[in-house]
Structure 1
Amino acid sequence: MTTPTWLDLGKLSESVFMGLCHKVGCSQTVIMRREIVDFRDMMRTQVIHTREDIKMISGSTKEGFRLKESDLDVMFWPKDHYVVWDLDQAQNYDLSRKTLILCDSSDSLPGFALLELLTPTHRESVKNACIRINDRLYVSSFKYRQTTFSIVVTNSKEHGPCGSGVLFGVAEYDTAQCFVSDFWPPPASKWIDRCHTWPTPSIVDDIVRNGCHFVAIGHKLGKHADKEWRISFSLAEQKLVYSMNHCQFLTYGLLKLFLNESINNGLSDEDKLLCSYHMKTAVFWIIQRNTIPHWHPQYLLECFWVCFKLILKWVYEGVCPNFFIPENNMFLSKIHGEAQKNLFIRLYKLYEKGIVSLLRIPSIRSSVISVLKNPRQSVATNKHMLLSRVLFEINLLHELNSNKITTSDLKQCIRFLNDVEKLIILPLTQFQVLMLHRFIASILQSTVFLLHNVFTGFAQFKVYTSSVVNKQVYMYMAKTSNYMLKLAAKFGCISDTLHIVMFYYKTLRYKEALSVLKMTKAKLAQPYVVYVCYSNTKAAWYMFHQSLGGQSWSTKMRHAVAWDLILDNEICYINELVPEQMSGLQSENRVLLIPLYVVLHMLEVLCYRHVDPVRAQTALDNLQDLVHHDQREYIMKPKRDISWEILGICQQVTGNHQAALYSYQQSLRHKSHNIQTATLMRIQEIMTLMHGNQYYSR
């Protein structure tokens, strides 16, 4: 690396290391993220069996990154279909309950294979994807992808083996429909022999024991491009990333930033030939070859430069060997000819600039400039000084907020509540305990509203009964529901008290609902309360840390944490939102994300309407002022549609039809929740009412 003679590369490396800890995350933050996501996956797989498929978060989110460019990668595979590599492995399965698929890689390029269906399948998506080759039945990757890429999220676009899109206008996602194999691929058997120093034998055993997956895409240059499948090592890669020390992980992170903010900056999607997977592969090879003796903060830039030179070499040669199956050249179909030449020239220009090329990475530019301006200034890399406790708490609360698990299946809720004692005694980390508390609160809330739907015969939400419920049973249910919601509030945060308010409103107990609202508003008014995902002032976070520093996290959550409400669209909470929930479900939107203060003011309007019309108008004025004038302090852009919608609903029920019409029209300008069907229906209602009034006034 070209550096000025006066520059201390070690000091610069330490400064960049510290900058990356703030941008990517310190070791404690990354561990916390992984533990929470792993626990969420475990809960979905072992406790909440919501579908026939197993779901696993993969990619950068699973690895512990939360960069702006990182999308959400999710893999799905049927839990009763298994791929075997030879017929002897079939004896491990009950063929009356499992569908077996035989992998045939004999006529495919390395890393790819045909999948032959050995036993009958009950899944229509698999049946429809079957084709015959030489009197044998194979599952076509192209046909399978065509029928499944939008099965998770409607209107997804096909992107490689995935269905891709944007959720709520901000979160990019990739969903991949796969098959699983419990066995390690024979083409990757040499990888096991290569693992002399990294990873450790125990990690190698764990990786091999967990097998691999197959994703629905073939090699463009293969003989069976539309029929064959790619072998995926996503789970193995996640375990390898977990085994990295923090300097190795941040080197990988720096390469990702270098790729996104420098190499690919200004290029169209078609011209972006390198991807983060190539960066990760380079780090894997460098670690395993033991090319770098010291992975420490003062050597971070040397580590980065060694990896970059390897990528440069690969582009020059046109060969990027897959880490598990080196014979699989991942550049073969895209990086060759003129494209290869242009990419090499682009990379070599960056290489020639040496250390100056780091200034092209905005995320770490300040870390570089600070040392260039003051080369004698010391850089503290002690982990306790890298990231303040306050910043860690911000990351933790954001992680808990974004990993909520919901279910609308009453039987699953009851089964979970019966088994909750088994979960509590598990050896969980402190972060996983918080995640469990959040899950318990969510299940208790779902159970209450689902039970109420059953007893009241709310047919639109799947769970209803035609039997008559006597008053005694109903009163017992109401009493039990009160207890469950109050218990949920103890496990949750301030926002969870609004579920109590919604239930009281739903059961016509308006004064009790208003009493809880008054208590909630008093809690939210405290100076140490933090509103997760919004721009709290530094003073608020400081007060939070100082006022509750010695308290348990459960206490902090209960008294000083608030976040927006997440309502499952398959559960009726209050009747006023049913059209929006049904509209969302039509577009496969499982939830409504509603700003906390919008819900609070809405409930005030609805409750006071039955108790004190004057105060109802005051609450409506507060809601209108919030929605009209908020500058993303309490309402994020993806939640503008539902916020305008709720304002319109409150204006409509209080008789202000003209204002309601304007609010609904504003809601149509935003399309994050896909509630347009409900909005158009409400506009039609308003127009009918207004025309009727005009008619009678004549």
Structure 2
Amino acid sequence: MSQHPDYYRTVSLKLSEVLNDIGVNERMILKRRMVLLMETMWTSTWKLLGMNMSIYHFGSRSEGSTTLGLQSDTDTLFCLNKYNVIQDWAEWQPSRRNLLMIQDETTSPGYCLLQKLRDDEHLPTALLDRLPDSRGKVLLKNTSYRDAPLEGRVINGPASSMEGSQGIADQDFVPAFHCRSWPAEARPWLLQQGIGRWPTEDMKRYCETKGCLTVPVSSKNSQHEELEWRISTSHAERCLMFSLNITQLRCYILMKMILKALINPQCDGVLSSFMCKTVLFHCIQNTHSNNWKKSNLLSCLMCCITVLQNFVRNENCPHFIITENNLMAGRISPHTKHKILEILKIILQGEGRALLGISIDDLGMRLQVKMNMGEALLYHQTPAKIYTFISAELLLNTASTVSFSHKFLLGEIKHDGNAIVRQGLSDYMITLTRMYREMGSSSLEKSALKLLAPLLSSSVASVIASHDIYTTHSISPEALTWFSAGLNSDVASGRLKLASALYCVGDMERAEFVLKNVEEKYDLNTVESVCECNENVFHYPRQGFRHKCNTGNEEVIKHNIAFCVRFLRCEICCVPEELQYEMFRSTQEDRLERDGIFDTWMDFAVVDSLPYLYFLQYKIYGALQRVVDQQCALANLVTTIDTESNLDHTETALNLLGQCMERENQHIDALRCYMKSLNFRARNNAANFLICRLLYVLFTVTEPALN
């Protein structure tokens, strides 16, 4: 096959077509970088809490350098900005936790020690306990941040992982401290210039302004295993990745596929995707830029494989920015080295044939079809289906981040008193407004705050309205103004909170009008339910929703997402009696089974939007004595519970349905609902109380007949 004079060009173009089909193209890469909005949402959330911390999702997902089949994890780095890492005493700042970066003959290249400094004057911290390798200095142990939870709030540790459920990426959480100055070891890189004239001088200047990070990881052969910190240039690497053209990104993705499918399964996983990225950077720097085009993809890939082969042969993969840092140091045994070189030799001699054996994203089969070497297979996902699935996954993940941030902010208030909660929510909104005004007109921060603000506005509105109803049995203009600001958070939750308050104040006509509006907007073919209270099992998004996501951006959240409806205890006067039980679901014994961080929502009343819509309709039509409409709402509630696979609070919906059945005098059906509810959640479930109450009612009704 390779005897054909245009072989490399033909394979390159066909390979480019395959990669385009599986979502590696300019449009989908820009879509994937929506992950940047998610990291901004998290950073904004911490700022609202008064925490000086920045969140970053570094790696393949934010770069767009992945595919569905690669199943890349999410590298989440949280930077604790209260720490100030300095390389020179002139960078010391008062009232900060200053740490002096130390590099000497005992530290590995690309690593450092961190000496604690006083925050009131330019002096080291006094020596209390002499450490064997500290030479009289008080050094910060990296284990302090691996073993202890961050502020008691989030999972911690360098590369400590939180396993994702089906369809949801695993997440690695890594703490870090920022150093505003460029690492001394990396200064020569700023002056280097390769054949490709990449990176440009502008890019290098930008990278220099971003400084570096230190993360609590020691080198393989460290003399200071508990004291050494890795110097990370992740900000600069992100800048470099964002500058790549489509052929360079495709080359990187092919390298990762080769690594995952052909090398690491036989070689103990000693090579990493970061090494592939480093190889790519070196190749781009040392080749002419006009080489990196679609018709030359295979040649570029072979060039990268050759460089990787040389690195393995020399057991030295120099970090692209800190070149003295050997990424392969101490990682490859002689046997593994021989095996890797053997595989790489076969790949190079085969001139791309090895790609035909890669099953990730059906790459090999797709390439065979493109090369007329195999029959077209009907079960291949079409490019359109892949694009829509990627887009839907990104929008759902973004919406989940918004929902989680809202839940997290509510949980941090930690008080039931109406006035205190109202003040806490008001503080959030004041801070949010100030942050919004300080942002640039097209910044990610503004987009993130615009998604979060309506949910918080609805919470403020309901807290105010609950106090209004308790004191005056009315809803004040102030509360209605806040409700109005929260209506467009999504298709349902803000409106349902308003309808719930109107029902509780007895304004059935206006409540019915709001619910009709929700029903009109809630297109069952295009709306997806999103809630981050529980660990969701991923479901395949419905076709109409996928289509909306493929043609839209984060604005889809407002028009095609239904968040769950959350009520704090101090909103109790805006909550129908049947839902109030959810606020008191937990006994003292139940509380022992709760996660102190992720289960704070269990002190709220939380319900999915669609079942709550039908429940409120049932209640309101009953109050209006519209029996036919009431029974229709009840039937819709039953159907929703039976058919909607993505409800997050099915147990709550069943508890509401059970109480409707009690009202219908169908007590056995009510009991069945409560028992089914317990199948979904045995503990921390109001059904335990509702069953006892129902049995008491049945017993007291039948007792006279027994006598």
Which moves more between the two structures, 59-68 or 387-396?
387-396
Shift of 1:489: 3.2
Question: For the residues of structure 2 that align with 1:599 and 1:10, how far apart are their CA atoms?
Answer: 59
RMSD between superposed Cα atoms in Å: 4.4
After TM superposition, the structure 1 = structure 2 runs for residues 500-539 of structure 1, keeping only pairs within 5 Å, are: 500-505=498-503, 509-525=507-523, 529=526, 531=528
The equivalent of 2:665 in structure 1 is none
Equivalent residue of 1:218, what SS?
Answer: coil
Question: For the residues of structure 1 that align with 2:53 and 2:12, how far apart are their CA atoms?
Answer: 42
The equivalent of 2:246 in structure 1 is 246
After TM superposition, the structure 1 = structure 2 runs for residues 101-112 of structure 1, keeping only pairs within 5 Å, are: 101-106=99-104, 107-112=106-111
Q: Deviations over 1:313-365 (max 9, x none)?
A: 32233222111212211122322233333344444444444422212143133
The equivalent of 2:429 in structure 1 is 414
Which one of 584, 592, 598 corresponds to residue 588 of structure 1? 598
Q: Describe the shift of the 1:410–1:313 C-alpha distance in structure 2 as closer, same or farther (beyond 3 A).
A: same
* Structure 1 position 646 matched with structure 2 position 653: yes
Q: Which amino acid aligns with 1:76?
A: F
* Structure 1 position 661 matched with structure 2 position 667: no
Which one of 578, 583, 603 corresponds to residue 578 of structure 1? 583
Which one of 683, 688, 691 corresponds to residue 686 of structure 1? 691
Q: Describe the shift of the 1:112–1:526 C-alpha distance in structure 2 as closer, same or farther (beyond 3 A).
A: closer
Contact 1:569 / 1:584 at 8 angstroms: preserved in 2? no
Question: For the residues of structure 2 that align with 1:255 and 1:594, how far apart are their CA atoms?
Answer: 46
Which one of 82, 85, 106 corresponds to residue 84 of structure 2? 82
Q: Deviations over 1:24-71 (max 9, x none)?
A: 443234334436725862783599432534122222232235644222
The equivalent of 1:5 in structure 2 is 4
Contact 1:45 / 1:54 at 8 angstroms: preserved in 2? no
Shift of 1:565: 0.9
Equivalent residue of 1:678, what SS?
Answer: coil
* Structure 1 position 445 matched with structure 2 position 442: no
Equivalent residue of 2:115, what SS?
Answer: strand
Which one of 73, 76, 79 corresponds to residue 71 of structure 1? 73
Contact 2:502 / 2:508 at 8 angstroms: preserved in 1? yes
Q: Which amino acid aligns with 1:441?
A: P
Q: TM-score, normalised by structure 2?
A: 0.76
Q: Which amino acid aligns with 2:684?
A: A
Q: Describe the shift of the 1:63–1:421 C-alpha distance in structure 2 as closer, same or farther (beyond 3 A).
A: closer
Which one of 269, 273, 278 corresponds to residue 270 of structure 2? 273
Q: Deviations over 1:446-498 (max 9, x none)?
A: 43245456778xxxxxxxxxxxx853xx85x6433333333443575466533
Question: For the residues of structure 2 that align with 1:322 and 1:571, how far apart are their CA atoms?
Answer: 54
Contact 2:458 / 2:487 at 8 angstroms: preserved in 1? no
Contact 1:413 / 1:447 at 8 angstroms: preserved in 2? no
The equivalent of 2:413 in structure 1 is none
Q: Describe the shift of the 1:104–1:507 C-alpha distance in structure 2 as closer, same or farther (beyond 3 A).
A: farther
Gaps of 5+ in 1: 378-384, 457-468, 669-675
The equivalent of 1:464 in structure 2 is none
Equivalent residue of 2:162, what SS?
Answer: strand
Q: Which amino acid aligns with 2:246?
A: H
Shift of 1:281: 1.3
Equivalent residue of 2:163, what SS?
Answer: strand
Q: Describe the shift of the 1:137–1:536 C-alpha distance in structure 2 as closer, same or farther (beyond 3 A).
A: closer
Q: Which amino acid aligns with 2:198?
A: W
Shift of 1:80: 2.1
Shift of 1:387: 10
The equivalent of 2:371 in structure 1 is 372
Question: For the residues of structure 2 that align with 1:284 and 1:512, how far apart are their CA atoms?
Answer: 62
Question: For the residues of structure 1 that align with 2:564 and 2:169, how far apart are their CA atoms?
Answer: 16
Gaps of 5+ in 2: 377-382, 411-423, 531-538, 663-668
Question: For the residues of structure 2 that align with 1:541 and 1:141, how far apart are their CA atoms?
Answer: 44
Question: For the residues of structure 1 that align with 2:11 and 2:567, how far apart are their CA atoms?
Answer: 51
Q: Describe the shift of the 1:346–1:294 C-alpha distance in structure 2 as closer, same or farther (beyond 3 A).
A: closer
Aligned length: 633
Larger radius of gyration: 2
Equivalent residue of 2:331, what SS?
Answer: coil
Shift of 1:174: 1.3
* Structure 1 position 635 matched with structure 2 position 654: no
The equivalent of 1:193 in structure 2 is 191
Equivalent residue of 1:148, what SS?
Answer: coil
Question: For the residues of structure 2 that align with 1:32 and 1:487, how far apart are their CA atoms?
Answer: 29
Shift of 1:516: 2.2
Equivalent residue of 1:231, what SS?
Answer: strand
After TM superposition, the structure 1 = structure 2 runs for residues 109-508 of structure 1, keeping only pairs within 5 Å, are: 109-119=108-118, 132=131, 133-148=134-149, 151-153=152-154, 161-166=158-163, 170-195=168-193, 197-264=197-264, 271-290=268-287, 293-359=290-356, 360-363=358-361, 364-373=363-372, 397-398=395-396, 400-404=398-402, 405-406=405-406, 407-408=409-410, 409-416=424-431, 418-419=433-434, 422=437, 426-428=440-442, 437-452=450-465, 471=472, 478-490=476-488, 492-493=490-491, 496-505=494-503
Question: For the residues of structure 2 that align with 1:608 and 1:601, how far apart are their CA atoms?
Answer: 10
Shift of 1:579: 5.0
Contact 1:390 / 1:541 at 8 angstroms: preserved in 2? yes
